[in-house]
Amino acid sequence: MAQHYSITEWLDLQRGFSSPELRSAMESHRVSCDRCSETLAWVERLQVTALADFKSDVPLQVTRNAQAIFALRRFDAIQFNTGSIAKMIFDSFNQPALQGVRSEQRSDVRHMLYEVEGYVIDLRLEHERGLSAVSMVGQIHHADNPDSKINPMPVKLTANDIELASTVCNNFGEFALAYVPQNALRLHLGLDAVGGQKF
Ligand SMILES: [Zn+2]
């Protein structure tokens, strides 16, 4: 089976964080891979949406890191429609900076892993300079078989029970949202909602 690239790798590529070698490997792979072309197109659409909807004044450089950290800290929990709350098993904000692992050293990206009911949820929050919005890119895996297919499930982001954004993950468990950071943010996953029906 050919190796595909993850949505986070495409995001890095688009933002210029990939090495020249990786960039050329990904670009030649994409030409013959529908799945990866689709992932890249999705990442590009997300960027366009975030820019169009949330463009704001560029914050002062000196306050930039504090603002990003503050924005990305404001995330509460992941909850299934069954009521189960996911347990956080990794948070890049709680790790010492790893030498050579570039994305984990950035204060404007927070990478988290959660576990719940046999699923692992990989969540990446990114606060881009000059935007008030945070982009959230996630992937849901089966914990015991990370490469097996995921039934599309509805994904909804709320703040104090008010819906901010919603989508449906694809067959690879991938989803992407953009939102303005605020308190009591909770991500809801509609487990076993066949065909991605709404809650
Ligand atoms: Zn591919």
CA of 59 from ligand 1 middle (Å) equals 37
Distance between Cα 38 and ligand 1 center (Å): 9
Distance 101 CA to ligand 1 centre (A): 23
Query: Which residues constitute the domain of residue 171?
Result: 57-196
Number of domains in the chain: 1
Q: Judge whether 30 lies within some domain.
A: no
CA 194–ligand 1 middle distance (angstroms): 26
1 domain-assigned: no
CA 197 – CA 76 distance, rounded (Å): 24
What is the whole-number distance in angstroms between the Cα of residue 34 and the centre of ligand 1?
7
Sign of the Cα pseudo-torsion (41, 163, 168, 153, in order): positive
- Answer whether residue 140 is part of any domain: yes
Per-residue pLDDT of the chain (199 residues; tens, 9 = 90+): 358 888 778 888 887 888 999 999 999 999 999 888 888 887 787 666 555 544 444 444 435 566 777 788 888 899 988 889 998 888 877 765 444 444 445 678 888 889 888 888 999 999 877 777 899 999 998 888 777 888 889 999 999 989 999 999 998 899 999 998 888 899 999 976 554 444 5
Phi/psi of residue 79, nearest 5 degrees: -135, 135
